[in-house]
Amino acid sequence: MTKLEDHLEGIINVFHQYSVRVGHFDTLVKSEMKRLITKELANTIKNTKDQATIDKIFQSLDTDRDGQVTFNEFIALLASVLATAHENIHKE
């Protein structure tokens, strides 16, 4: 497996580490999303301990408004975080 493929598998594994806790095993409910963000993205997303921030992120990701975030919906967060990280690297 290449380095990039290994990282992609790691992202999937992290998603599943949190998605299996409550409800459907392949979606995140808000409590799972909060736990994932506060544990895995605490240095990347500001105000991760603020419930209003979590609510806003969850609402923006839950595009079909079913109260859960699928992996495909979660990818939008990853794309945004990755783009910001890329910009920040060029600022250093």
pLDDT tens digits for range 15-57: 999 999 888 889 999 999 999 999 999 888 888 888 999 999 9
Among 88, 86, 37, which residue's Cα sits nearest to residue 61?
Answer: 37
Q: Which two tokens stand for residue 89?
A: 């690297």
Distance between CA atoms of 71 and 27, rounded to whole angstroms? 7
Question: For position 49, what pLDDT does the model report?
Answer: 83
**Phi-psi region for residue 32, left (φ > 0), alpha (ψ -120 to 50) or beta?**
alpha
Q: Is pLDDT at 92 greater than 80 in this prediction?
A: no
**pLDDT at residue 50, rounded to an integer:** 86
Q: What is the mean pLDDT of residues 78-89?
A: 93
What is the pLDDT at residue 71?
Answer: 97
CA–CA distance, 85 with 59 (Å, rounded to integer): 22
